[in-house]
Structure 1
Amino acid sequence: MVSSKSGWIAYTYNPSIAAAVIFVILFAVTTLLHTFHLFRTRTWFFIPLVIGGYFELVGYIGRAMSAQQSPNWTLGPYVIQSTLLLIAPALFAASIYMELGRIVLMVKGEKLALVRVSWMTKIFVAGDVLSFLMQASGAGIMVTGSSSSSSTGQNVIIGGLFVQIIFFGFFLISALVFQRRIRADSAASAVADQYPWRKHMWALHSSSILVLIRSVVRVVEYVQGTYGYVMGHEAFIYVFDGLLMFALMVIFVVVHPSEVNYLLGRGRAVVRMGGLKVEADVMA
């Protein structure tokens, strides 16, 4: 958001309506797929990711609305897209954090975890909530309009993004240490290999890296400020935010954590029997 002597200006360019509509469609498809899988499989710890998908969807709808208004933008659509697209990845992170603890339990690897499983979700989700609240409050401060509040809001957002990066970094280290310990322990490896844990760890690692890249670019964006190169070029919001978060949602459509839940004796999943795919129910 830019404040100038001639009045309030939302963007330093005219947003592309075509790009916004494309991402509305992409997130509509993936979010509806995740919603279907959520209720079909009862993988309730993925509720934050599904909500994040709807935030992305509504955020790009707001961006499409802004594109239609160029150059006479109104505050509403700008606030919708700037706030929801900023905080949606924090919701994705919450589900990612919760899956690691379940994978550890599935392969009976509690003794090999860097962080005690009973504390794992609490620590990472607490950091994620802090990051979410900082980014949301920073976005709220920014849209009040004054230059001083805009600067303060940007600093709060940067702080929230750094919190997200720090916790994701620690999360990745924890996941890598866990995998290394399993490989180094033949008995633990023999137990773990009875379960499809590797593909789920791959999904966690790849999705975490996507969020980290996106968060680093966002930090650069807010450090540079309103007239910086990143904020002044629309391609960055689509290549280093929208596209990366869409890829994350696709990863979890392909490698859905319902399989982990099912093997823990919870919910519902598609399993193979005699080469055929069938649906099975297991109540927690």
Structure 2
Amino acid sequence: MDPAECTLDICPIEDAYIQYQPTIAGNSLYLALFGLLLVAQAILTPVYRTWWFSGSMVAGLLLEVLGYVARILFHDDPFSFDYFLMNLICLSLGPVFFCAALYFLLGRIVIIYRGEAISRLKPRNYAIVFVSCDVVALMLQSVGGAMTSTADDADGRAVGTNIMIAGLAAQVAAMTAFIALAAEFAWRLRRRSGQPTAADSEEKDEYTEIREDRWWKVFLAGLVVATITIYTRSIFRVVELNGGYSSELANDEVTFMILEGAMVSIACICLTVLHPGRALGTRRKKDSEPLMERS
């Protein structure tokens, strides 16, 4: 039967777009969490004035909220293509914005450690390069989602899905390069601190107070956790979509709730509770420069 004419009373769940009914309790929990984090980020935006970071977080959290609304609606109508598409596109695109939020921060960290001389890229170029990669990934996933929604046959939808996979793969590739550059910078910074020179001495400067603040260390640890969890989630989604919507992995809700929902939740909690505005001290300085500060 045409899925649009199906209901749970007359069609088996195996004929639905996903072969299970999303749990109300679990998805409601994620919906409430992301809704709370969205409100928190919106409140903190004017407080700390980290506009680029906060804008990315708000956009991503809004997509997460819409995605889990779709999953809750999907529970009673798993044959609805609109709910399926809303769930697929929103939860695929949301983490793209969280990646952008991370990319904005690395250049700022380089500046705070006065590490321009040991960084592969200039501080502001981290955001330019990797956000550009994020835009490409976003466009591919958006185009793939649009093709999937408008295709009249299975072949057209398969092409749309493959384009979405390409977008997710581009996101993973960009994150891999980002993690490699961040790890290399941390390694070079550690070497420099172990072998100080006259040029790289730990003399007092305008960022000394930030570097010596215990909250800054906690913030950096949270940033590492957020990066790892989003990276794990992105790899999972590439593997999941690559197997197709009828694969065992794509229809395993427990795996989805852990490797999608839990991973993104942990990342967003880290980036909200350990807000970079608090670590960077932007609230204390009325004349503080924006997050995209030039070196």
TM-score bucket of the superposed structures, by smaller chain: 0.7 to 0.9
**Match of residue 12 from structure 2:** none
**Match of residue 36 from structure 1:** 43
- The correspondence for 2:109, drawn from 91, 103, 109, is 103
Deviation at 1:79, TM superposition (A): 2.2
Map of 1:76-155 to 2, 5 A cutoff?
Answer: 76-145=82-151, 146-155=153-162
**Match of residue 31 from structure 2:** 24
1:66 paired to 2:74? yes
CA RMSD after TM alignment: 2.4
CA distance in 2, matches of 1:227, 1:124: 33
* Bigger mean CA offset, 238-247 vs 85-94: 238-247
1:268 paired to 2:276? no
CA distance in 2, matches of 1:132, 1:3: 31
Task: Answer yes or no: is the 8 Å Cα contact 1:268–1:282 preserved in 2.
Answer: no
**Match of residue 209 from structure 1:** 228
Task: Answer yes or no: is the 8 Å Cα contact 1:131–1:161 preserved in 2.
Answer: yes
CA distance in 2, matches of 1:167, 1:261: 25
- The correspondence for 1:226, drawn from 242, 245, 253, is 245
Structure-2 change in CA distance of 1:142 and 1:3 (3 Å): farther
Deviation at 1:160, TM superposition (A): 0.9
CA distance in 2, matches of 1:237, 1:3: 27
Name the amino acid aligned to 1:214. Answer: R
Higher share in strand: 1
**Match of residue 239 from structure 1:** 258
Deviation at 1:112, TM superposition (A): 1.4
Secondary structure at the aligned position of 2:250 is classed as coil
What per-residue deviation string (whole Å, max 9, x for no partner) do you get for residues 235-266 of structure 1?
A: 2221111111111111112321103543xxxx
Deviation at 1:283, TM superposition (A): 4.5
Task: Answer yes or no: is the 8 Å Cα contact 1:134–1:157 preserved in 2.
Answer: yes
CA distance in 1, matches of 2:65, 2:263: 14
Task: Answer yes or no: is the 8 Å Cα contact 1:102–1:260 preserved in 2.
Answer: no
Task: Answer yes or no: is the 8 Å Cα contact 1:43–1:261 preserved in 2.
Answer: no
Q: Which has the higher contact order (CA 8 A, sep 6+)?
A: 2
Deviation at 1:189, TM superposition (A): 7.1
**Match of residue 174 from structure 1:** 181
Secondary structure at the aligned position of 2:88 is classed as helix
Deviation at 1:85, TM superposition (A): 0.6
| Unaligned runs of at least 5 residues, structure 2 | 7-14, 290-295
Length, aligned pairs only? 267
| Unaligned runs of at least 5 residues, structure 1 | 270-279
Name the amino acid aligned to 1:98. Answer: F
CA distance in 2, matches of 1:3, 1:141: 20
Name the amino acid aligned to 2:172. Answer: I
**Match of residue 20 from structure 2:** 13
Normalising by structure 1, we get a TM-score of: 0.86
Q: Percent identity?
A: 24
Task: Answer yes or no: is the 8 Å Cα contact 1:172–1:205 preserved in 2.
Answer: no
Deviation at 1:24, TM superposition (A): 0.9
**Match of residue 156 from structure 1:** 163
Secondary structure at the aligned position of 1:190 is classed as coil
Task: Answer yes or no: is the 8 Å Cα contact 2:141–2:167 preserved in 1.
Answer: yes
Normalising by structure 2, we get a TM-score of: 0.83
Deviation at 1:60, TM superposition (A): 0.5
What per-residue deviation string (whole Å, max 9, x for no partner) do you get for residues 58-109 of structure 1?
A: 1101111121334xx3333222221111100000000100001011112221
Deviation at 1:12, TM superposition (A): 1.5
